[in-house]
Amino acid sequence: MALSKKPVNGMKDILPNEMQIRDYVINVIAETYAEFGFTRIETPCVENIANLSNKQGGENEKLIFKIMKRGEKLNLETAQSEADLVDGGLRYDLTVPLVRFYSNNGANLPNPFKALQIGPVWRADRPQRGRYRQFYQCDIDILGEPSNLAEIELILATTTTLGKLGFKGFEIRINERRILKAMAAYSGFAEDDYDSVFITLDKMDKIGLEGVEKELKEAGYAKETVDKYLYLFKGMETAENGFVWLTEEIKDFLEEDVKDNLGEIITSVEAVKNADFKMVFDPTLVRGMSYYTGTIFEIAIPEFGGSCGGGGRYDKMVGKFTGNDVPACGFSIGFERIVLLLLESGYQIPNAKKKTAYLIEKGMPTDRLCEVMKEAQEARANGEQILVSRMNKNKKFQKEQLMKEGYNDFKEFYKNPLNN
């Protein structure tokens, strides 16, 4: 049987043109985040299965690519459950590995610690536009900073990066997990039902308010409870300032500092931002990860029509490894979706090096070949990008292919110098 030349479903080959954009975006991300004091680290792509399936990763825990035990540890004959067969898995995000990394190396790290990670992650998800089973994430996290400074820095660093890549008119949608819980408590939902209610609320942008109402009632929640919950969303729509109205309405169920903290983040970012975007309070924003404990945020770019990154505060996660909680907050930029939007818009890398192709006729004598190679080396030393290649019979097609890779200047070299 012939070998398959296609990549595994949900994975993709990356052609040179896209790779150039990807490399450029990674460089912009790394340079910008470094300007904000973030330090790059790296963790293994394989994590202990217990770390990946600790009921903190939400739906992602159902999408783990699991790795079977090897050698003497694997005994198919005596295995009675998955735990007897599996001991590792491919990471589904960069947050779980970061927390393990910090728990293991915290004594040797500054406090607070500002981490930058860029690397592939894997999820056995249903492939769709901008979503693959293997994809890159670019995360920044601040561990050890309990104040709003962490959220402000993360949002400013991420939006500055998007601005450098040419994005304008986007939104940073922001919410607070404690506001979500206060809204549910105000309405009369039992605390054990909060996660189920939030899963339905997270569908608001797809099914609308009526769809949320229908799904909650079909789930068996009391009509008066659901009606009181929906009243909050309707009230915000008609209020002059939805955020102020909501926090006043649920104040008996809301911790005192939540309103001021969120207000400080929004006001501070708006005051000093240097990219074209706006901060938007979104009470329907949930974020799927169970480990979020406070502020949550998401990037919304109109051209994409969905989330292009997000993050939030997860103050209780380090404690699951060490027994001692550490304040932590992170922001993940949607690298694959950002690259997709740039490619679809025909993005050109600014200030790119001049790219010239030297095409050499076949059969050129050694001394003449050395002259051409010397000229190429001198041009490279002057900052040009030079491709040296043999001249094909179909020179027109060869040039067309090279032009797709950004080579617009050509120099042709023949055995007889008079033909040059």
Q: What is the mean pLDDT of the chain?
A: 91
74 and 148: one domain? yes
Residue 217 lies in a domain: yes
pLDDT tens profile 16-68: 889 999 999 999 999 999 999 999 999 999 999 989 987 766 677 888 999 88
Alpha-helical (H) ranges within 222-255 are: 223-238, 242-249
Residue 41 lies in a domain: yes
> At residue 246, does pLDDT exceed 90?
yes
> At residue 303, does pLDDT exceed 80?
no
Under the banding of pLDDT at 50, 70 and 90, the label for residue 1 is: confident
The predicted structure's pLDDT at residue 417: 67
77 and 162: one domain? yes
Instruction: List C-alpha distances in Å: 281 to 4, 90, 141, 171, 244.
Output: 49, 34, 22, 10, 10
64 and 146: one domain? yes
What's the whole-number mean pLDDT along residues 97-122? Answer: 96
Tokens of 345: 């818009």
Under the banding of pLDDT at 50, 70 and 90, the label for residue 305 is: confident
The predicted structure's pLDDT at residue 16: 87
Tokens of 338: 């950002």
Residue 243 lies in a domain: yes
Collapsing DSSP states into helix, strand and coil, what is residue 297? strand
Under the banding of pLDDT at 50, 70 and 90, the label for residue 69 is: confident
CB-count exposure of residue 151 (10 Å: 0-12, 13-18, 19+): buried
The predicted structure's pLDDT at residue 63: 87
Residue 281 lies in a domain: no
CATH number at residue 83: 3.30.930.10
Among 261, 276, 291, identify where a domain stops.
Answer: 276
What's the whole-number mean pLDDT along residues 309-319? Answer: 94
328 and 374: one domain? no
CB 200 within 8 A of CB 229: no
Distance CA 247, CA 243 (A): 6
Under the banding of pLDDT at 50, 70 and 90, the label for residue 73 is: confident
pLDDT tens profile 259-300: 999 999 999 999 999 999 999 999 999 886 678 899 999 999
Using the structure block, give the residue that is written with the tokens 């295995």. 79
243 and 138: one domain? no
CB-count exposure of residue 360 (10 Å: 0-12, 13-18, 19+): buried
> At residue 340, does pLDDT exceed 70?
yes
48 and 77: one domain? yes
Among 276, 309, 328, identify where a domain stops.
Answer: 276
Q: Which residues of 304-342 are buried (b: 16+ CB within 10 A; e: fewer)?
A: bebbbbbbbbbbbbbebbeeeebbbbbbbbbbbbbbbbb
Residue, of 206 and 250, whose pLDDT is higher:
250
Residue 212 lies in a domain: yes
> At residue 202, does pLDDT exceed 70?
yes
How many Cα atoms occupy the beta-carbon half-sphere of 106 within 13 Å? 20
Residue 406 lies in a domain: yes
Distance CA 176, CA 193 (A): 18
pTM of the shown model? 0.88
The predicted structure's pLDDT at residue 87: 86
307 and 382: one domain? no
CA 110 to chain centre: 25
What's the whole-number mean pLDDT along residues 401-415? Answer: 89
Residue 330 lies in a domain: yes
230 and 252: one domain? yes
Under the banding of pLDDT at 50, 70 and 90, the label for residue 83 is: confident
What φ, ψ does residue 76 adopt, rounded to 5°?
-65, -30
What range defines the domain where residue 111 resides? 9-167+301-352
Distance CA 377, CA 234 (A): 68
Domain count along the chain: 3
Collapsing DSSP states into helix, strand and coil, what is residue 390? strand
127 and 114: one domain? yes
What's the whole-number mean pLDDT along residues 352-375? Answer: 91
Instruction: List C-alpha distances in Å: 379 to 12, 373, 376, 385.
Output: 35, 10, 5, 8
> At residue 364, does pLDDT exceed 70?
yes
84 and 187: one domain? no
Q: If residue 135 lies in a helix (H) or strand (E), which one and from where to where?
A: strand 134-143
> At residue 328, does pLDDT exceed 90?
yes
pLDDT tens profile 111-164: 999 999 999 999 988 887 767 899 999 999 999 999 999 999 999 999 999 999
Distance CA 143, CA 274 (A): 25
Q: If residue 309 lies in a helix (H) or strand (E), which one and from where to where?
A: strand 307-313
Please count the helices (runs of H) and the strands (runs of E) in the chain.
Answer: 14, 14
The predicted structure's pLDDT at residue 420: 64
CATH number at residue 413: 3.40.50
Residue 225 lies in a domain: yes
The predicted structure's pLDDT at residue 58: 67
122 and 156: one domain? yes
Distance CA 187, CA 190 (A): 9
> At residue 256, does pLDDT exceed 80?
yes
231 and 145: one domain? no
Among 276, 293, 313, identify where a domain stops.
Answer: 276
The predicted structure's pLDDT at residue 250: 95
